[in-house]
Amino acid sequence: MSDSFSFRLTGTHGAARAGEIATAHGIVRTPAFMPVGTQASVKGVHPDEVRASGAGILLGNTYHLMLRPTAERIAALGGLHAFMRWPYPILTDSGGYQVMSLAPLRKITEAGVTFRSHIDGANVELTPERAINVQILLGSDIAMQLDECVRLPAERTEVERAMKLSLRWAERCKRAFEAAAPGRALFGIVQGGDDLKLRKESARALVDIDFLGYAIGGLAVGETQTVMLEVVAETAAALPAARPRYLMGVGTPADLLEAITRGVDMFDCVLPTRNGRHGLAFTRFGPINVKNARHADDARPLDEESRCPAARDFSRAYLHHLFRSGEALGGTLLSLVNLYYYQDLMAGARAAITAGNYSDYAALTKGQWSVRRDIDGDEE
C-alpha cells in the first residue's frame, strides 16, 4: 500500500475518462461508483458482499457518524475502516448536505451551521474546521470540504451567496486539513446551482485554492436531467484533467452513463440499496419491480447471466414472495443485485473507454433496457 494519494488517467474517449486513484487503502478504478454506508453499514449488506460486488470504495456520512456513535468513539476504536470492517478506500462527505436535508432548526452563519440532532435533540455546531476534524477522526482516505447546498429552483442571489460562502469554507477546510495524516486527500466542491456562470466561477476559485480532487455538488436536488447534465458538462470542462471529478449523490444508471460521457470519474448514490429494499431490481433488461403480481409464478431468475449470485440463484417468484411476506432477505438480495449491477456498469464503462468505444457501450447498454422492458421489465 502506498502512503500517497494520487490519480492518473489510463484512457480517454471524447470527454469520458478511465483512471486510477491510489490511496493508502488501495486502488480505486474510475469511473467508480461508491455504495453509501451512511451509518457505517451499507444497509442490509455484509461488507464482504459489498466488496464481492466489485466496489472499490465506500462513502460514509459525517453527519450521521458524528452524531452516532460519534467520530471520537470511532477514532478510539481504530477508525472507520476497522470499525465497519472495510479495509479498502473510504470517502466521507462533510455533513453539509445531511444537515440541510435532515436536521431540524438549522441555522447557517459565516462561522458554520448549527442544528438540532435528529437523534437526541442536542444542539450541534458544524464548522468547516469541525467537519474536517470529524473526517480526520474517522480516518477516511478522501475527505470533503463543508459546503452549503441549495435546493433548486432557487433565486440566483441565493445560489450565489451559498456558492461564495462555500468557497470561503473551502479555504478554511484546506487549512484545517493540514493536520491530517499524509496520504489522505481533501476534495473541494463546486457549487452554483443551475447557473453556468456561477459554476465556472466556483470551479476557478476552487482550482486556485488547489485540491487533490473536485466534486460537483448541489445537483440532483430538483432540477431536470437535461439541466443537470449541462451543468455537469460545463463544470467538468472547467476542472483540471489531472484531478478526479466526483458528481455527488447521482444517480440512476442512465445518469451515470451520461455523466461519464461528460467527464465525471466518481459517483455515490443510495439508489441501489434503497430501491433494492423497495423491491426494484436494476438489470440488463431495465428495472424490474419484483413486487408486481406478474412475477408471482415466474420461475426465471432476474438474470441468469448476471455476475451476481442473487440474480442467478433465486426465482422471481421467490423474490416476489419475500417482498409480499415482508421478509428482510428480499431487500438484502435485491440490494446485492443492484450493487453488482452498478459495479458492472462501471466496469463496462472503464473497459469501453480504454478500448475507445464508450459511446457505443453507453448506447448499447441503454438500448437493451428499452428493448427488453416490454417483455421482462417494469415501468418504475
Verify binding: residue 219, its own copies, rule CB under 8 A. no
Q: Which is nearer to its own copies, 47 or 128 (CB)?
A: 47
Are 8 and 20 contacting, i.e. CB atoms less than 8 angstroms apart?
Answer: yes
Phi-psi region of 244 (alpha: psi -120 to 50; beta: other; left: phi over 0): beta
Verify binding: residue 69, its own copies, rule CB under 8 A. yes
Verify binding: residue 300, its own copies, rule CB under 8 A. no
| Segment contacting its own copies by CB under 8 A, of 14-22, 168-176, 190-198, 316-324 | 316-324
Q: Which of 347, 362, 364, 339 is nearest to 283 (CA)?
A: 339
- Annotated active-site residue 147? The verdict is no
Verify binding: residue 294, its own copies, rule CB under 8 A. no
Give start and end residues of each alpha helix (H) in the chain. 47-52, 62-67, 71-76, 80-83, 96-102, 128-138, 156-177, 196-209, 225-237, 253-261, 271-277, 309-313, 316-324, 328-355, 358-373
Verify binding: residue 53, its own copies, rule CB under 8 A. no
* Neighbour count for residue 27 (Cβ, 10 Å): 15
Verify binding: residue 51, its own copies, rule CB under 8 A. no
| Least CB distance to its own copies at residue 163 (A) | 33
Task: Return d(Cα 246, Cα 264) in angstroms, integer.
Answer: 6
Verify binding: residue 197, its own copies, rule CB under 8 A. no
| Least CB distance to its own copies at residue 328 (A) | 5
Q: Which is nearer to its own copies, 31 or 331 (CB)?
A: 331
Q: Which is nearer to its own copies, 83 or 246 (CB)?
A: 83
| Least CB distance to its own copies at residue 281 (A) | 17
Task: Return d(Cα 250, Cα 254) in angstroms, integer.
Answer: 10
Binding to its own copies in span 70-99, by CB under 8 A? 73, 76-78, 83-85
| Segment contacting its own copies by CB under 8 A, of 92-100, 172-180, 228-236, 294-302 | 294-302
3-state helix, strand, coil in the chain (%, to 5): 45, 20, 40
| Least CB distance to its own copies at residue 204 (A) | 40
The one-letter code for the residue type at 380 is E
| Segment contacting its own copies by CB under 8 A, of 65-73, 102-110, 182-190, 256-264 | 65-73
Residue 263 in grid coordinates: 467527464
Half-sphere exposure of 56 (CA within 13 A, CB side): 20
Q: Which is nearer to its own copies, 156 or 300 (CB)?
A: 300
Verify binding: residue 19, its own copies, rule CB under 8 A. no
| Least CB distance to its own copies at residue 106 (A) | 21
| Least CB distance to its own copies at residue 39 (A) | 4
Task: Return d(Cα 50, Cα 52) in angstroms, integer.
Answer: 5
Are 254 and 366 contacting, i.e. CB atoms less than 8 angstroms apart?
Answer: yes
The greatest distance separating any two alpha carbons of the chain, rounded to the nearest whole angstrom, comes to 60
The one-letter code for the residue type at 116 is R
Q: Which is nearer to its own copies, 241 or 328 (CB)?
A: 328
Q: Which of 337, 343, 361, 355 is nearest to 261 (CA)?
A: 361
Verify binding: residue 107, its own copies, rule CB under 8 A. no
Q: Which is nearer to its own copies, 29 or 43 (CB)?
A: 43
Q: Of these, 292, 315, 354, 368, which contacts its own copies (CB under 8 A)?
A: 315
Query: DSSP 3-state assignment of 26?
Result: strand
- Annotated active-site residue 208? The verdict is no
If you ran DSSP here, which 8-state letter would residue 294 be given? G
Catalytic residue from among 93, 255, 265, 376: 93
Q: Which is nearer to its own copies, 83 or 358 (CB)?
A: 83
Binding to its own copies in span 265-284, by CB under 8 A? none
Catalytic residue from among 141, 255, 268, 298: 268
Q: Which is nearer to its own copies, 267 or 323 (CB)?
A: 323
Q: Which of 221, 160, 161, 166 is nearest to 190 (CA)?
A: 166
Catalytic residues: 93, 268
Provide the binding-site residues for its own copies, judged by CB under 8 A: 39-41, 43-46, 64, 68-69, 73, 76-78, 83-85, 296-297, 299, 313-315, 317-318, 320-322, 324-325, 327-329, 331-333
